[in-house]
Amino acid sequence: AAEAPDEHDARLRAALLAEVGDVDELLDNLVKQPREHEDDVELEVPPSVTERYFSMRGYFTTAKPPNGDQVVLRHSNGICVIALAETHPIIADNKTIASVNFELSQTQDRLANKPSGKKKRNSQWLNPLSRVCEATCDDGTVYSIVSCIRGYLMEVNERLLTTPQLLKAQPHLGGYVAIVAPKKEESQACLDALTSEADWKAQKK
């Protein structure tokens, strides 16, 4: 039998709070569940799991051309999801993504990241400008997508290897880039160092 939306949300939330689960368990199907309505009367749409549990957002712009805006979605337990902002050229200019590459060099292979245990042993350490992957578009432009924050790399979204268009089509859902876990004592400071959602919207008007 199909899982009810409320049960699905509860299972995802439990996984997030426990800092466990693979990509599918954590972030698949994070979609709004519209309520049924009658007589064309619009009713309130309940928030998605992303909106409920990743309510804190910070924005980051890479200074090195080609520039690209990114967003960090932070859960209350400190876990952060790295994604493209809606103003990133890949999304804003509706570019076609030819490939996404996590193997950046002989010494920077994000696919080789294998964290283990609560202490995140063997996790790669990232700084705000550490590259997580590169997205190559069919016009030849290569965009470096960075961590935006300091923290341990927990997962990269390997589905982008076979379906790179998710990066544009579902940037905050199935097309997110990576999951990063800041140090507990730095969690809030990492977000404070980014541009707030309110300031970001004001700048983009």
**For residue 28, pLDDT beyond 90:** no
**For residue 111, pLDDT beyond 90:** yes
150/130 Cα distance (integer angstroms):
9
Buried b / exposed e along 82-97 (16+ C-beta atoms within 10 A): bbbbebbbbbeeebeb
Mean residue pLDDT across the chain: 78
pTM score: 0.73
Sheet of 125-126, strands arranged across: 125-126, 151-156, 178-181, 80-84, 69-74, 56-61, 195-196
State what percent of residues in the chain have pLDDT above 70. Answer: 70
**For residue 101, pLDDT beyond 90:** yes
